[in-house]
Homo-oligomer: A and B are copies of this chain.
Amino acid sequence: MSARRATITDVARQAGVSPSTASVVFSGKTPVSDATRLRVLEAAAELGYTGPDPRAASLRRGRSGIVGVVFEEHLGTVFLDPVKTRMMDGLADGVASLGAGLLLLRDDVSQGAGPHGAQPTLTTAPLDAAVLVGCSGMLRESLAVVRSRGIPVVVIEGDAGDGVPRIELDNREAQRQAASHLRSLGHDRVAIVTLPLRTGRGRGRLEDGESITIDVTRERLAGARDVYPDAAVFASAGSFIDEGLAAGRALFSVDGPRPTAVLAQSDLLAAGVIRAAEEAGLRVPEDVSVTGFDGIVVDGLAPYELTTLVQPAADKGRAAGMAVAAMLAGEDAASIRFTCVFREGNTTAVAP
């Protein structure tokens, strides 16, 4: 119809009231007489005005109603990871009270000042707050960006430092529990399959003194080493069944003495390891015991039921959401540490 969209000023003029009055009709912040309200609403209808422009409103108010969720990986991958999926679920719940939406973002700090890099990232998205989902090597940089923007941040699974609330897991203690379980079953030759060590590092044996920048990996490894300081360590390139399979093949194909048990840092990795064991003609748990981590339901793993640590993934997300809401309300939010529950399945048994 018209060349440009109607604004609240147009509506006000049409209704014969002032812009502020028209504004109030839509925001409901101040009482308005029924008569005027009606006039304004009619005018709006005539002009096809559907309400304040969110961009202008958010500039004026200083709030956009958007909470950013930052992941390290390609967004699609996020949806493949059951733990993240559950966490998002909880997070959506947690910010609901805020009435905010979740904006999915990638961890690409690089952009921003570039000549034409139009990526809307952490730097350029209109966020009220951000939730960083850890395990990220880039965590530090992302955090710096967000903090310098001065918006509230919560970190899930990562070392945030300073006054940034974090939502954590008792990774080390939990993993130690699984290791102790194996120890009590008499296992001596134990191998460990870890999550990625660093961004971009491929799979392979952990070298002596190699640095581990991903917190979850380091913590869980520490827990395993509390019990088995000398265990062989094979690093994966991600939490996938295929990665576990590759790791398992490497572990079971060596000439020397085979491990009698494998501590995997995720359920998906564990599933892959089990598959590798079967390939190698080993029975689980009779010949090899395998433990996982996460407590998710792994697809196609039946009839195995992993011995694993069950983590409260959804609760973590919800807690993060609530923390963000609190910070936006001016209160300050405390860090929370969640606890895993050990669950014994049928993939561990007495050492052969």
Confirm or deny: A112 has a beta carbon within 8 angstroms of a beta carbon on chain B: yes
Interface size of A by CB at 8 A reads: 60
A50-B92 contact given A55-B64, A101-B104, A103-B101, CB 8 Å threshold: no
Could you tell me the dominant secondary structure of chain A's interface residues?
A: loop
Q: Which of A122-130, A188-196, A204-212 contacts B (4 or more CB under 8 A)?
A: A122-130
What residues of B have a CB within 8 angstroms of the CB of A100 in the complex? 120
What residues of B have a CB within 8 angstroms of the CB of A126 in the complex? 54-55, 58, 64, 66, 126
Residue pair B105, A103 in contact (C-beta under 8 Å): no
A102-B103 contact given A56-B59, A76-B92, A76-B93, CB 8 Å threshold: yes
Confirm or deny: A114 has a beta carbon within 8 angstroms of a beta carbon on chain B: yes
Confirm or deny: A99 has a beta carbon within 8 angstroms of a beta carbon on chain B: yes
> A85: which of B57, B79, B99, B116 is its contact (CB, 8 Å)?
B79
Confirm or deny: A330 has a beta carbon within 8 angstroms of a beta carbon on chain B: no
What residues of B have a CB within 8 angstroms of the CB of A300 in the complex? 297, 299-300, 302
Chain B nearest CB from A55 CB (Å) reads 4
Confirm or deny: A90 has a beta carbon within 8 angstroms of a beta carbon on chain B: yes
Q: In A1-23, which residues have CB < 8 Å from any B CB? A: 5
Per CB-CB distance, the 6 closest pairs between chain A and chain B, nearest first, are: A65-B120, A76-B89, A75-B92, A99-B118, A54-B126, A79-B85
